[in-house]
């Protein structure tokens, strides 16, 4: 018996699949391989993996279809891996419940970091009490009191700004699309929603002392959405 986390890799290009298997096994995970949607479906059912890395362009069907099927029955984290750099594809995959999106060619270190983050945060979301506190690096959130602290000092946010930060933290490690954030924070999106979100986010970044382009706490996936980085190992 081993108690390694199982990662299902659904990818039809053999070179990439072999590379991915070697990469995840070198990082202490057990790799399960599939090269079609159909095989991915079978492997998912028989192995119940802890995470799925899913290519979108598969020979028998679109990976999006497998993503939908997985999401229908489980919260298993799914990282989309695809050559398609089209923003529309990313947004669709994320809105359908993918946890993250990595575009080929990808950096090994980055992919491993995304895998760790997706597995850890799924456990975090499942285990955590919503009235508790959240901590990542020097940022902490007291959900009960609706207060945010950076290096122990309270950061004064408006209600809307707090709602955005709390939402991102509850899904930390996952990129939330602009429209899913807008829907969660304001309800029905209207014409000026994206602008409102951008203005609020600019204020949040200013209050948290984040420089544009700085890679910490809240990351802007340009054209797609925002992600809060989870605690590091
Ligand atoms: Ca492919």
Ligand 1 centroid from CA 75, angstroms: 24
The pLDDT of residue 131 is 58
Banded model confidence at residue 60, pLDDT cuts 50, 70, 90:
very high
- Measure 11 CA to ligand 1 centroid, in angstroms: 6
User: What percentage of the chain reaches a pLDDT higher than 70?
Assistant: 91
d(CA 102, CA 71): 19
Question: Each residue of 111-152: pLDDT tens digit?
Answer: 999 998 888 776 555 444 455 888 888 899 998 888 999 989
How remote is the CA of residue 42 from the centroid of ligand 1, in Å?
18
Q: Give the model confidence (pLDDT) of 172-203 as tens digits.
A: 888 899 988 998 888 777 778 888 999 999 99
| pTM over the 0.85 mark | no
Mean pLDDT of 83-106: 86
164 CA to centre of ligand 1 in angstroms: 35
How far away, in angstroms, is 12 Cα from ligand 1 center?
Answer: 5
Phi, psi of 130 (to 5 degrees): -65, -20
- C-alpha of residue 102 to centroid of ligand 1, in Å: 13
Instruction: Classify the C-alpha dihedral 182-186-189-194 as positive or negative.
Output: negative
What average pLDDT score do residues 204-224 get? 80
Q: Which candidate, 139, 161, 137, places its Cα nearest to that of 149?
A: 139
Cα(14) to centroid(ligand 1), Å? 9
Q: 123 CA distance to ligand 1 centroid (A)? A: 29
> What is the pLDDT, as a whole number, of residue 214?
59
Domains and CATH numbers, the chain: 6-126 (3.40.50.2300), 129-228 (1.10.10.10)
Contacts of 143 (CB under 8 A, 6+ apart): 130, 131, 132, 133, 134, 166
Specify the 3-state DSSP secondary structure of 112.
helix
pLDDT in tens, 160-176: 999 999 999 988 888 89
The b-or-e profile of 76-88 (16+ CB within 10 A means b, else e) is: bbbbbbbebeeee
């Amino acid at each position: 018996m081993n108690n390694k986390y199982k990662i299902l890799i659904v990818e039809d290009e053999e070179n990439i699949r072999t590379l991915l298997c070697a990469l995840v096994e070198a990082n202490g995970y057990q790799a399960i391989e599939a090269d079609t949607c159909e095989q991915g479906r079978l492997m998912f059912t028989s192995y119940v993996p802890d995470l799925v890395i899913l290519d979108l362009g598969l020979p028998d069907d679109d990976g999006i279809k497998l993503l939908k099927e997985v999401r229908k029955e489980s919260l298993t984290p799914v990282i989309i891996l695809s050559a398609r750099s089209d923003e529309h594809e990313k947004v669709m995959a994320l809105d359908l419940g993918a946890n993250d999106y990595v575009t080929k060619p990808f950096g090994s270190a980055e992919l491993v970091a995304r895998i760790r983050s997706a597995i850890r945060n799924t456990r975090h979301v499942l285990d955590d009490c919503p009235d508790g506190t959240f901590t990542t690096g020097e940022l902490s959130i007291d959900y009960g009191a609706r207060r945010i602290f950076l290096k122990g000092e309270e950061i004064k946010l408006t209600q809307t700004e707090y709602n955005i930060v709390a939402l991102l933290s509850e899904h930390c490690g996952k990129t939330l699309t602009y429209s899913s954030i807008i829907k969660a924070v304001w309800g029905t999106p209207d014409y000026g929603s994206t602008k409102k979100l951008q203005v609020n986010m600019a204020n949040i970044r200013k209050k948290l002392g984040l420089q544009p382009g700085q890679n910490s706490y809240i990351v802007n996936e340009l054209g797609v959405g925002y992600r809060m980085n989870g605690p590091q190992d």
